[in-house]
Amino acid sequence: MIDFDDIKLAAERLAGVVRPTTVVPLSAVSRIVDRSILAKPEHLQKTGSFKIRGAYNRIAVMAEGGSAQAVVAASAGNHGQCVALAASLTGLAATVFMPIDASFPKIEATQAYGASVVHGGETIDDCINTAREFAVQTGAEYIPPFDDPLVIAGQGTVGLELLSEAPEAEVVVVPVGGGGLISGVGVALAQRTPRPRIVGVEPTGAASMAAALRQGSPILLDPCDTVADGIAVRSVSALTLEHAAAYVDEMVTVDDEQISEAVLLLLERCKWVVEPAGAVALTAILAGKVEGSGPVLTVLSGGNVDPLVLTRLIEHGLAASGRYFRIRVIIRDRPGALADLTRTLGNLRLNILAVEHRRSGLKLDFGEVEVFLTMETRDPGHRDQVIAELEARGMRAELLD
Catalytic residues: 51, 301
How far CA 273 is from CA of 266, 306, 338, in Å, comes to 7, 11, 39
Contact between 371 and 329 under an 8 Å Cβ cutoff? The reply is yes
DSSP secondary structure string, 196-261?
Answer: PEEEEEEEGGG-HHHHHHHHTS----SS---S-GGG--S---HHHHHHHHHH--EEEEE-HHHHHH
**Phi, psi values for residue 319, rounded to 5°:** -65, -45
Containing 137, the helix (H) or strand (E) segment is helix 124-138
Contact between 221 and 231 under an 8 Å Cβ cutoff? The reply is no
Contact between 196 and 171 under an 8 Å Cβ cutoff? The reply is yes
Contact between 300 and 29 under an 8 Å Cβ cutoff? The reply is no
In the 8-state DSSP scheme, what is residue 302?
A: B
Q: Cα(64)–Cα(95) distance, rounded to whole angstroms?
A: 20
Strands 351-358 and 396-400 come out as unpaired
Of 285, 277, 279, 253, which is closest to residue 264 (Cα–Cα)? 279
Which amino acid belongs to residue 219? I
Angle at the Cα of 255 from the Cα atoms of 275 and 351, rounded to 5 degrees: 75
In the 8-state DSSP scheme, what is residue 193?
A: S
Longest dimension (CA), the chain: 83
How far CA 37 is from CA of 56, 169, 237, 252, in Å, comes to 30, 9, 31, 18
Of 253, 78, 89, which is closest to residue 181 (Cα–Cα)? 78
Q: Cα(295)–Cα(297) distance, rounded to whole angstroms?
A: 7
Contact between 318 and 379 under an 8 Å Cβ cutoff? The reply is no
In the 8-state DSSP scheme, what is residue 306?
A: -
Which amino acid belongs to residue 68? A
